[in-house]
Amino acid sequence: MCKDIADYFYPISILDKQQIYEKCYEIGIDGITSIATDMAVPTICFVAERLNLVSNSSISALNTTNKAAMREVLSVSNQNCPKFIEVDKFDKFLFVEFTFPLIIKPVDRSGSRGVFKIDNLSGLEKAIELAIEESFVKKCIVEEFIEGIEVSVESISWKGKHFILAITDKVTTGAPRFVELAHHQPSLLDYPLINDLKNITSNALDALEINYGASHSEFKITEKGEIFIIEIGARMGGDFIGSQLVNLSTGYGFLEGVLKIALNQFEIPVLNNIGFAGVYFLSKETEFLLPYFLKANKFDVEKEILNKELKYIASSNDRSGYLIYNSDKKVDLY
């Protein structure tokens, strides 16, 4: 448990901005950051602004933790996003001009919680109800579904300058929940697409005023090569992307870089492109991977079976294990 090694531990909700600020002021902290959770971002910016520490603004925190606010900002700045609407209840007349299929998401959750793909109007009301139920503020967004491959861009920023560290290819369960089953770095996309992704990411980070620290930007790319922004977080990617894969594929200590920015000790990232790295997640959908979990493989970095009873996954919390690899080529177990 982290509390056993921390110098200070307080059982306070990360949403309790004022109480956390008071404890940080009392201790006299040197920096504050989040590694891979969106929920902590508003609190971090709240505390940092009051203690004159390095962070993004509270406005930026709102725009990167609320999907509707994020869509509004990106749309106003002419970034390519799916057509969307924010709702707090079902009203069929709101969707007259939308083209099915649609994706429904709580405005303020992650890990695929409350995410549904709906192919027609008959299933929309129930999906909206379930998504709103998952939301802290009881709202969701409904947006047109973009068919295509999924990738993410891992970045770190300092004083508004953005450094692209890696692009991650993704494998998901597909409809209706799109829970991620595997991640691979570096991306095998063609160079023109990679270059476009880098430029779009930098422009989107500018629009959202992500000037400091890590960011994790998710995209869909259609068969025609059109790139749509799906979501951007002002933190490292979860699923071991930020904590391990970037380091394994580039040699850059992403976690150390994030901590140094919080401490006002930024150093320009040095990337060595030393190999391929990835993670596979174990579930009922990926039961065929079980033999790789039960034997030693030359590409193993770390692996663990968390639950012997495999189940179909509705969110990332349902996954039953993980296998992190590192190799001189992509390890394709499918």
Domain span at residue 239? 149-327
If asked whether residues 281 and 203 sit together in one domain, one would say yes
pLDDT value, residue 232? 97
Which residue has tokens 């008071």? 22
Examine residue 75 and state whether it is found in any structural domain, yes or no: no
If asked whether residues 153 and 128 sit together in one domain, one would say no
pLDDT, averaged across the chain: 95
- Per-residue pLDDT tens digits for 229-249: 999 999 999 999 999 999 999
Within 13 Å, how many C-alpha atoms sit on residue 206's CB side?
12
- Per-residue pLDDT tens digits for 61-115: 999 999 999 999 999 999 999 999 999 999 999 999 999 999 999 999 876 788 9
Q: Is the previous residue joined to 176 through a cis bond, with omega within 30 degrees of 0?
A: yes
If asked whether residues 6 and 114 sit together in one domain, one would say no
If asked whether residues 228 and 161 sit together in one domain, one would say yes
Instruction: List 281's β-bridge partners, or say none.
Output: 322
Do the strands 149-158 and 161-172 form a parallel or antiparallel pair, or are they unpaired?
A: antiparallel
If asked whether residues 234 and 159 sit together in one domain, one would say yes
Examine residue 73 and state whether it is found in any structural domain, yes or no: no
If asked whether residues 189 and 51 sit together in one domain, one would say no
- Per-residue pLDDT tens digits for 136-152: 999 999 999 999 999 99
User: Count of domains in the chain?
Assistant: 3
Considering the entire predicted model, what is its pTM? 0.94
Percent above pLDDT 90 for the chain = 90
- From the list 95, 152, 88, the residue with the least C-alpha distance to 118 is 95
If asked whether residues 129 and 32 sit together in one domain, one would say no
Q: Over the range 283-310, which residues count as b (16 or more CB within 10 Å of their CB) and which as e?
A: bebbeebeebbeeeeebbbebeeeeeeb
If asked whether residues 185 and 315 sit together in one domain, one would say yes
pLDDT category at 177 given cuts 50, 70, 90 is confident
Give the Cα separation of 233 and 157 in Å (integer).
13
| Rounded mean pLDDT, 315-333 | 95
- Amino acid, single-letter form, for residue 7: D
